Chains A and B, each alone.
Chain A
Amino acid sequence: MFLRYRIIIIVLITLFAVYNICIYSTKESSTFIKLSSQAVSGQQLWQENNCWSCHQIYGLGGYLGPDLTNVISHPSKGSQYVKAFLNSGIKSMPKFNFSEEEKNAIVSYLKHIDSTGYYPNYNAVFKPTGWVELKYKYNDRNEK
């Protein structure tokens, strides 16, 4: 019995290894865009200042502030809107003393995130099986 359990573990670990390699190496889309060095700096600032404590990206993060996935492309928001909040703070959000360069880096990071997809995904299609077909932004770009 002990040997049988060992074999099951080995099979599972082998499958897990193959699965991980596929996940790490798979391309998210045919037209995926890499983070620029400015966006990477923005990401670093995002982490150093724990922006994720309150804000979400694709619904993942904190609950005190709004989700920022599509804040840049939102018709009534955008880059200046983000910078204004960074300058002034609001309620629990403190005022951050970022330089213009740092604010541009954060905006650049958010711009990149915005280009990767939609959240909430209002145009997703529901299937009778319980599956949801997401609307992909890169498909929209390709169609255009």
Chain B
Amino acid sequence: MKTIIFKSASVYLLPLLLLFSVFILLRGHYLPGGGFVGGLMASIAFVIHSFANGVENTKNIVKFHPGFLMPVGLALALLAGSLPLFTGETFMTGLWMDQPVPVIGTVGTALFFDTGVYLVVIGVTLTIIFTISEGL
């Protein structure tokens, strides 16, 4: 799509949507949101950018193959799940820091698990969309 308005808007939308997706990710522990929704939003940010500027340009922004995010995210989620095993507790038990971190709040293994989901969703969605648009 070659409209100037859309093209220039997409430049500003990309970082805004990415920021918003991180907000949704962090918000998700007690309120609606979380890794899955956040990941979808982050990939929508890239999809909008690719609509306006073409897939090639979006790929240049991402730099690496988005499929690589899948094992990274899975590894992060697996690590978050199995950390309690090392302290003798059961799989998937939430371990929490004593002191809250400013802005984010109390950090626990649940956050890492959700971040893992976030990365996997971005990886899967972008791989699918990039592969499909290559065939067009």
Is B one of A's binding partners?
no
